[in-house]
Amino acid sequence: MNHLRVGVLVLIFVAATGLAWAGSGLWDARGTLPAVPWPAPVVFGMLAGLLFAMALSLRSRLRARRERRPGARPVDPLGATRAVMLGQASALVSALVGGLYGGLGIFLLLEYTDVPARRDQALYAGLTVLAAAAVCAAALFLQRVCRLRGDEPEENGNGGPLGSPM
């Protein structure tokens, strides 16, 4: 399984922010922008909490097995893999949706600072971006918890993986 990298999430977020900002300008020129739903940050916050709780649970169970505590429950490898895959998928979607709300929020702040309803929607968009970042952080933490000892590529003296022709 490939590890999700922070750079990929940042690239998705930045690209989605730019596209959403430009698209918001075009959409506003043709009519009215859609409203930003207030439950969006709540849903992303709940997802971040779920992923973080899964990571803490798996970390404590893995630590108990590693320390050979009596009565320690084993970790199902397939269950841990599914948890990591859920985290990675959530992080990718959160980076995309967070970027979309970020671009829309920037557009609303630049164009509609005098309209109170649009200012509230810009606030909801900003809170959604923060909650989406929390989902990404929780997913990366979950991935880190479930990493196997031999998962990291070993490095040679040149800083590259072993066997690479650097």
**What is the tens place of the pLDDT at every residue in 102-131?**
999 999 998 887 888 888 889 999 999 999
- Contact call for residues 65 and 74 (beta carbons, < 8 A): yes
Task: Examine residue 131 and state whether it is found in any structural domain, yes or no.
Answer: yes
d(CA 109, CA 103): 10
Indicate whether 133 belongs to any domain: yes
Assess if residue 9 is contained within a domain.
no
Band the pLDDT of 165: cuts 50, 70, 90.
very low
Distance CA 22, CA 28 (A): 10
Joined tokens for residue 59: 């970390």
Which pLDDT score, from 0 to 100, does residue 31 have?
Answer: 80
Predicted pLDDT at 111? 84
Beta carbons of 101 and 129 less than 8 angstroms apart: yes
- Structural domain of residue 143, as residue ranges? 81-150
pTM for this model (two decimals):
0.82
Specify if 57 maps to a domain: no
pLDDT given for residue 156 in this prediction: 47
Q: What is the pLDDT of residue 161?
A: 46
- Between CA 85 and CA 137 the distance in angstroms is 14
What angle is formed at CA 150 by the lines to CA 144 and CA 155, rounded to 5 degrees?
100
The answer to whether the Cα torsion of 93, 98, 104, 106 is positive or negative is negative
Domains of the chain: total? 1
Per-residue pLDDT of 17-71, as tens digits, reads: 999 999 988 888 888 788 888 899 999 999 999 999 999 999 988 888 888 888 8
104 assigned to some structural domain:
yes
> Tokens 């990718």 sit at which residue?
92
Rounded to the nearest 10 degrees, how much is the dihedral formed by the CA atoms of 2, 148, 60, 73?
A: 110
